[in-house]
Amino acid sequence: MNKKELKELKEILEGMKNELLTQAEQMRQRSLGLDVEDLPDEVDLATSETDQSLNLHLRDRERTLFKKIEDALERMENNEYGKCTLCDEEIGFKRLKARPVTDLCIRCKEEQESVEKRYAE
């Protein structure tokens, strides 16, 4: 993966993260009884709570996604992004673009899913 591709993926991840934080902020405002209709689309996150406390307002599924995004960004920082965490293979730009939070190559992912299927009821 080249630098340009990496940058593109980083932008996708950051966009996803901002979207979730905006959602969290809206949930927080709603829980405070504020009128969310008045909120701008992009909330100024610098003035609000930290990412960590803010994401508590997300639903479970979104919070899990948020964690995955943070992990992916961290792997990017450490130059480990784009490598399968099980077999060390390169995951490939196309797959990452479709699923930027993934940390498994398609082979390991399929294997994992078939195991899950085998043991599921």
Per rule CB under 5 A, is residue 21 in the interface with Zn ion? no
**Residue with Cβ nearer Zn ion (55 or 102):** 102
- Residue number, 21 or 84, with CB nearest to Zn ion: 84
Q: Look up residue 15 and give its amino acid.
A: G
Selection from 25, 15, 23, 1 nearest residue 76 by Cα: 1
Burial class (CB in 10 A: 0-12, 13-18, 19+), 68: middle
We find the least distance from the C-beta atom of residue 80 to Zn ion, in angstroms, to be 13
Both tokens assigned to 117 = 């299927």
Q: How many residues bind Zn ion (CB under 5 A)?
A: 6
Residue closer to Zn ion, measured from CB, 10 or 95 = 95
The answer to whether 27 contacts Zn ion (rule: CB under 5 A) is no
> In angstroms, what is the minimal distance from the CB of 2 to Zn ion?
21
Q: Tell me how far apart the alpha carbons of residues 50 and 106 are, in angstroms, rounded to a whole number.
A: 34
